[in-house]
Amino acid sequence: MEQEEGQHTLVMEKDQDFLDELSDYLDVLGNATRLRILKSIERTPKDMRTISREIETSYENTKKHIDKLLLAGVIRKEAGMSAPTSKGIHPVWKYSVIPGGLEAIIQNLGLFSNLQVSFGDLGLSRRIEDVLGQVSEKLGTAAPVVVLLGGPDDGKIFALGAEIISIGREDAAAVPSDPEREIVLSEEYAAVTRVSRPHCRLIHSSGLWQIEDCGSTGGTFVNNTRLAVHTRTAIRDGDIIDLGKGVRGARLVFRVPKEEEKA
């Protein structure tokens, strides 16, 4: 497969159990009806009959798809009460997307796609791309994010909602952090400069994202290239950002909606 600019290759051992689970995951998400269900319950928990009416399919078919989403771990059910009817109200199961579930779906698929995970199976790589396209079209993409890889907070997602976001590790002496303007990593990431004198900053200006090292001791790297201090460098969807090096550093994957990247 030809590697496009801004994409990265991660070679993995062929673990058949993992590949089987990934295939099942793609089967669950690569279905228009299940994606409509996720969109229906994205913000408000709903019972089976309400979902069935909204997506315009039978109760039995809706139940079949919901069972698959439950097994995939992207939705949950909890007891609730039905809407009032001529017969009164009664207990029902209500279904909702697990907090952060839609963002996690996008990240799971996008990470595999952008890193061009090598499974030795071109067909599987194409399926990942296809399902990611369907999910992005039906559910939309959230705000730009960075995903933390490795360490105690592996997989944690940080939304990028401000024009300038400082990144650093916890600092007990600093004033309380602003979650919209600061990404604060735990003390376990000891190679990352404290947030009171941030390791680096992400800057969004004129539709473009840039990163700037703020004089960190461990350095900031984009796709393994060390950045010059206090010099802004453009970053693109799928770029790998390393704060410091080694096990006590932090690795982030930058993810931005495709339509914003083209803006």
> Measured between alpha carbons, how far is 48 from 42 in angstroms, rounded to an integer?
14
CB 193, CB 170: distance < 8 Å? no
Percentage of the chain surpassing pLDDT 90? Answer: 39
Q: Answer with the residue of higher pLDDT: 174 or 193.
A: 193
pLDDT of 6: 45
pLDDT > 50? residue 32: yes
Decide if pLDDT at 14 tops 70.
no
Amino acid letter, 49: R
Domain boundaries, the chain: 6-100, 140-253
**pLDDT number for residue 56:** 93
Over residues 194-241, the pLDDT tens digits come to 988 899 999 999 989 999 999 999 999 998 899 999 999 999 887 889
Q: Assign a CATH topology to domain 140-253.
A: Tumour Suppressor Smad4 (2.60.200)
**CA 23 to each of CA 32, 60, 104, 119, 212: distance values in angstroms, whole numbers, following the listed order:** 17, 25, 17, 12, 39
Q: What is the mean pLDDT of residues 101-127?
A: 66
CB atoms within 10 A of CB 189: 24
Dihedral-angle region of residue 203 (phi above 0 means left; psi in -120 to 50 means alpha; beta otherwise): beta
Nearest to 234 by CA among 259, 262, 209: 209
177 half-sphere exposure, CB direction, 13 A CA radius: 21
CATH of the domain spanning 6-100: 1.10.10.10
Q: Are 42 and 27 in contact (CB under 8 A)?
A: no
Question: Residue 203 in contact with residue 232, Cβ under 8 Å?
Answer: yes
DSSP string, 65-123: HHHHHHHHTSEEEEEEEPPPBTTB--EEEEEEEPTTHHHHHHHHHHHHHHTTEE-S-HH
